[in-house]
Amino acid sequence: MTQKIIIDTDPGQDDAVAILLALASPELEVLGLTVVAGNVPLDLTARNARIVCELAGRPDMPVFAGCDRPLARDLVTAEHVHGKTGLDGPQMADPTMPLQDMHAVDFIIETLRSQPAGSVTLCPLGPLTNIATAFRRAPDIVARVARIVLMGGAYFEVGNITPAAEFNIYVDPEAAKIVFDAGVPLTVLPLDATHKALTTADRVQAFRDLGTEVGRMVAAWTDFFERFDKEKYGSAGAPLHDPCVIAWLLAPDLFTGREINVEIEVDSPLTRGMTVADWWRVTDRPANALFIGGIDADGFFALLTERLARLS
């Protein structure tokens, strides 16, 4: 039985690969893409999401623009990682497919109200502003969400945008708190997992060896995207953060984690956006998330490459 999902995204090269993976996987029915400001401003994330859909041969995929700033903060972007366009690497033409007229938050609300309760999984790949806004505007939809599978946060890896916080959570900590406190079944793919999903020369060559436009684009995006992480961490390559969300849906056995309590810091200027993960269960705070710590990286890249091969 296919899983119905909504991908909430701020493309971002890694978001782009995640979207391609989802669109290449028949186990998933992508009901729509909702776009949020994050890696780059909303006009660019809305552009980039449509570029990826057209690359995947899916100009029919509805793309909805959402919130252009966090709930209560100024927007922080990440051009230093993703480049000015958010999809730097290859030259890419503007999309021709249109944005939907409906706001992303309205799409989330209407979809959750119209689909059978418990049948739709939300897959946030960026700041959680759209999801939190939908929950605040329509509290009745919270109980109708099957699960939220998101990329964000960290425990052992602590932070990538500050010493204490991962970017998606840092940009909109108030939104993250709403989502983590909502009581929806939650799977978190933090830096602890995604930093083990590193592109290497062989893995990127496997994308190129697909001999397709998709393979060429993914290789070019990862070549661009990895320069930041190589310089910062001295790592072998780029962490493919967001595709881990889709891979967990497709092959959860590639991952390991534990049900723990995760709280979001929203008050401290020093640790704003920190995911305070009770990995060792030293408190009696109730578990609210399946927090992923491990990944079979070879299995992940084998799955990703095999699925990308299905796109032209």
Interacting residues toward Ca ion by CB under 5 A: 10, 12, 15, 125-126, 242
- Under the criterion CB under 6 A, does residue 45 sit at the interface with ligand RIB? no
Q: Is 241 in the site for ligand RIB (CB under 6 A)?
A: yes
Task: Report the residue from 39, 133, 222, 261 that binds ligand RIB according to the rule CB under 6 A.
Answer: 39
- The answer to whether 241 is a known catalytic residue is yes
**CA 156 to CA 194: how far, in whole Å?**
12
Rounded to a whole number of angstroms, the minimum distance from the CB of residue 211 to ligand RIB is 27
Length of the chain: 312
Contacted by 221, from Ca ion, ligand RIB, none: CB < 5 to 8 Å by type: none
Residue 75, CA distances (Å) to 111, 133, 204, 208, 249 in order: 27, 16, 32, 35, 30
* # of chain residues touching ligand RIB (CB under 6 A): 15
Q: Beta strand pairing status for 255-260 and 262-264?
A: unpaired
CB atoms within 10 A of CB 196: 16
Of the pair 40, 141, the CB lying nearest ligand RIB is at 40
The residue within the footprint of ligand RIB, chosen from 151, 249, 274, 303 (CB under 6 A), is: 151
Q: How far is the CB of 182 from Ca ion (least distance, A)?
A: 20
Q: Is residue 126 a contact residue for ligand RIB (CB under 6 A)?
A: yes
What is d(CA 1, CA 4) in angstroms, rounded to the nearest whole number?
Answer: 9
Among residues 233, 208, 226, the alpha carbon closest in space to that of 305 is found at: 208
Residues 128 and 178 sit within 8 Å (Cβ to Cβ): yes
Strand partners, 264: 275
N-term to C-term CA, the chain: 25
For ligand RIB, which is the closer residue by CB, 50 or 241? 241
Closest distance between ligand RIB and the C-beta of residue 89, in Å?
A: 14
Please report, as ranges, the residues that interact with ligand RIB according to CB under 6 A. Answer: 10, 12, 14-15, 38-39, 125-126, 151, 160, 166-168, 241-242
**Active-site residues: which are they?**
241
